[in-house]
Amino acid sequence: MSANAIYPPVLSETLAVGGAQIPRLGFGTYGMSGSRLQEILVSALHHGFRHIDTAQMYQNEADVGAAIRASGISRRDVFVTTKVWVGNYPAERFAASVDLSLQNLGTDYIDLLLVHWPRGGVSIAEQIDGLNRAVDAGKVRHIGVSNYNAEMMRSAIEFSKYPIVTNQVEYHPFLDQSVLIETAQANEASLMAYCGMALGRVFKDPVLKEIAMRNKRTIAQVVLRWLIQQPQVVALSRSEKIERVAGNARVFDFELADEDMQTITKLHTSGSRIVNPPHLAPDWD
């Protein structure tokens, strides 16, 4: 694609938080790599996505960088989030791992750098110090955390000299994250939701089916809209089927009624957490 190619309008919104302008809808890349991921990401970018989420642990940062270049869309117009893996938290490894991420992405800065899990062998203070040093070095523009509980998030904010702009966590209609959302709101931060489709559980739910039919939308569109229509929430879409990418991007041209928002929120049930590795996860709220 030529850098001068003309693309459809970007139907997107951003969330202003801690000096960052985070696109409300991002594209998650967990579990994908290679030429297929690159093809899907190029399609996502051409259909209006401007936020890509990756991580050192995903082993696909190079594919993300290649896709951005292949898209013909300027790097400055794409918001890239990546995460430092727990094995790289010690000070002697942290900076080198960021350099490797930059090399893999083929860029000289990262828009948003997160620490991936709170339990990684070093204290929260040390994790946040690594993030701060990356900003000091001019390699990272904004920082945040992932999979922190509310108490840990408040500690991270206290330890950091730069704003902690997000906490990336599992969030879908069946999982109550009201405590973390309230913590984000109280501290002028955001919650970045992954696993929004609950590994496909949303597609079988009769309540969501009815709301989708009445709104003449797909269930995926309804769930993504429910996420981003909440204050301080950013949503990560993810699909390995390229034919679904365009539809998932169309969540900015409609709104859910307050009644629908409340109905979806009431779907949360106990025992609905999906991602919970015992050696990495905190005591959840």
- Rounded Cα–Cα distance for residues 81 and 23 (Å): 11
pLDDT score recorded for residue 5: 45
What integer best gives the mean pLDDT of the chain? 95
Give the domain extent around 143: 23-194+227-255
Show which residues are catalytic.
58
Average pLDDT over residues 224-231: 97
CB environment 1-25: b (16+ within 10 A), e (fewer): eeeeeeeeebebeebebbebebbbb
Of 138, 139, 194, residue with least CA distance to 166: 194
Q: Region 26-45: what's the mean pLDDT?
A: 98
Residue 89 forms part of a structural domain:
yes
Show the tokens assigned to 166: 């997000």
105 in any annotated domain: yes
**Which band of pLDDT confidence, cut at 50, 70 and 90, is reported for residue 3?**
very low
In a domain, 130, yes or no: yes
Residue range 249-259, pLDDT digits in tens: 999 999 999 99
Confirm or deny that 116 is annotated as ligand binding: yes
Model confidence at 200, pLDDT cuts 50, 70, 90, reads very high
- Residue 6 makes CB contacts below 8 A (sequence gap 6+) with none
β-strand 20-23 against 14-17: which pairing, if any?
Answer: antiparallel
Kindly state whether residue 150 falls inside one of the protein's structural domains: yes
Q: Which pLDDT band, with edges at 50, 70 and 90, does 267 fall under?
A: very high
pLDDT of residue 4: 39
Whether residue 104 is predicted with pLDDT greater than 70 in this model: the reply is: yes
- For residue 204, what pLDDT is reported? 98
Of residues 12 and 80, more confidently modeled: 80
In the numeric block, the tokens 């990272």 are attached to 140
Q: Is residue 62 part of a domain?
A: yes
Report d(CA 79, CA 94) in Å as an integer.
22
Q: What is the pLDDT of residues 274-285, one digit of tens each?
A: 999 999 999 999
Give the pTM: 0.95
Q: What CATH number does the domain containing 33 carry?
A: 3.20.20.100
Does the residue 80 lie in any domain?
yes
201 in a structural domain: no
What average pLDDT does the segment 10-27 reach?
A: 90
Domains in the chain: how many in total?
1
Nearest CA among 144, 140, 162, 161 for reference residue 153: 144
**Between helices 150-159 and 124-136, what is the axis angle to 10°?**
50
Residue 121 CA to residue 90 CA, distance in Å, equals 8
Indicate if the pLDDT at residue 10 is higher than 60: no
Is 219 part of a structural domain of the chain?
no
CB within 8 Å of 214: residues ≥ 6 apart = none
Predicted confidence (pLDDT) at residue 11 exceeds the cutoff of 90: no
Sorting pLDDT into bands at 50, 70 and 90, what band is 9? very low
